[in-house]
Amino acid sequence: MTYLETAAQFYREVAETPQVGLCCVQSTPLQLPGLKIPLAMQEMNYGCGTTVHSTELGNQPTVLYVGVGGGLEALQFAYFSRYAGAVIAVEPVGAMREAAARNLEIAAQEDPWFDTSFVEIREGDAFNLPVADASVDIVAQNCLFNIFEPEDLNRALKEAYRVLKPGGRLQMSDPIATSQIPAHLQQDERLRAMCLSGALTYQEYTERITNAGFGQVEIRARRPYRLLDSQTYNLDEHLLLESLDSVSFKVDIPEDGACIFTGKTAIYAGSEPFFDDSAGHLLQRGIPAAVCDKTAAKLAAIKPAEIIVTNSTWHYIGGGCC
């Protein structure tokens, strides 16, 4: 079998026999007024973080969710877009489509506001999304793209870019590796399917996003995910995997490169009331200004004695400038 066939077989198994806590850091599902998550969905929470950011879901966006899982995040997205076909869930594994459909039927019984027509489950995969060009506001995936080998990841990212409207958002949660994962683990198809051996480093991961055409990337969260201990995984030393939640925007890439926001700020500490770099950045003395990593580095180089750049918080929720 190819590694994708191994992954499909694995998720067929966990669709038919749910494995609680299979691949995620266990956390309470997003709590929202009137939203009840069926137990069956919680047991099939096969993700490593969240792609549902409630403050960004105004105006009832159309969402394409890649890899429906148990339907949990599809239901959460539908909470904000309550109309037929608001969420299109694409899933290649038949058993998983059937499980998600059952779980959504339960949700319709437990949540008076929810109608199963809000979520349309379609057969398909990340490489051939069954929607037209520039037709959705959001593409989301949780703990799926890390399974892909690098060239397949490129295909999936470019396909997400294709179907997004201009200005649309790719909302992802994936494991990343704090150092290169050795080849003997990368080649273990079962571990790859379990989201334990396919992760790229942060630098590699974000580079592939921007290489696909996304001009702005914002990091919503970064936290520990799993430890690959040296004894179990035949490593020279322990290897930490982290969970990275990101939002990438389908906007043009600036001439000087894509903008990646990780929570850095620039603070002017000079003698003047303001500092203007004549490139669109105006810093008020003593007031932190959110900036992308690229701009942070440029400002620090201009006046290293007068401009303080704070460290990445890995928790960025908008604002600031490139």
Q: What is the pLDDT at residue 28?
A: 59
Q: What is the pLDDT at residue 204?
A: 98
Instruction: Verify that 234 and 286 share a domain, yes or no.
Output: no
Query: What is the per-residue pLDDT across 136-186, written as a single tens digit (0 to 9) for each?
Result: 999 999 999 999 999 999 999 999 999 999 999 999 999 999 999 999 999
Question: Could you tell me the CATH number of the domain that includes residue 268?
Answer: 3.40.5.100
243 versus 21: which is more confidently predicted? 243
Instruction: Verify that 237 and 178 share a domain, yes or no.
Output: yes
* Residue that has been written with the tokens 């709590």 in this structure: 31
Q: What is the pLDDT at residue 320?
A: 64
Residues 6+ apart with CB under 8 A from 52: 30, 73, 76, 77, 140, 171
Q: What is the pLDDT at residue 22?
A: 62
Does the pLDDT value for residue 44 go beyond 90? no
306 within some domain: yes
**Final residue of a domain: which of 250, 270, 297?**
250
- Which sign does the torsion angle of CA 234, 237, 242, 248 carry? negative
Q: What is the pLDDT at residue 206?
A: 98
> Are 101 and 131 in contact, with CB atoms under 8 Å apart?
no
Q: Cα-atom radius of gyration of the chain, to the nearest Å?
A: 21
275 within some domain: yes
Instruction: Verify that 172 and 25 share a domain, yes or no.
Output: yes
Strand-strand pairing, 63-66 and 87-91: parallel
Does the pLDDT value for residue 322 go beyond 70? no
Write down the pTM of the prediction: 0.94
Structure tokens at 166: 């201009």
Residue 6's alpha-carbon distances to 1, 144, 146, 148, in angstroms, are 6, 14, 15, 12
> Are 98 and 73 in contact, with CB atoms under 8 Å apart?
no
Does the pLDDT value for residue 27 go beyond 80? no
Query: What is the per-residue pLDDT across 238-269, written as a single tens digit (0 to 9) for each?
Result: 999 999 999 999 999 999 999 999 999 999 99
Which structural domain range is residue 59 located in?
Answer: 3-250
Mean residue pLDDT of the chain comes to 93
The C-alpha atoms of residue 214 and residue 9 are separated, in whole angstroms, by 32
Given pLDDT bands bounded at 50, 70 and 90, which one contains residue 42?
confident
The average pLDDT across 78-93 equals: 97
320 within some domain: no
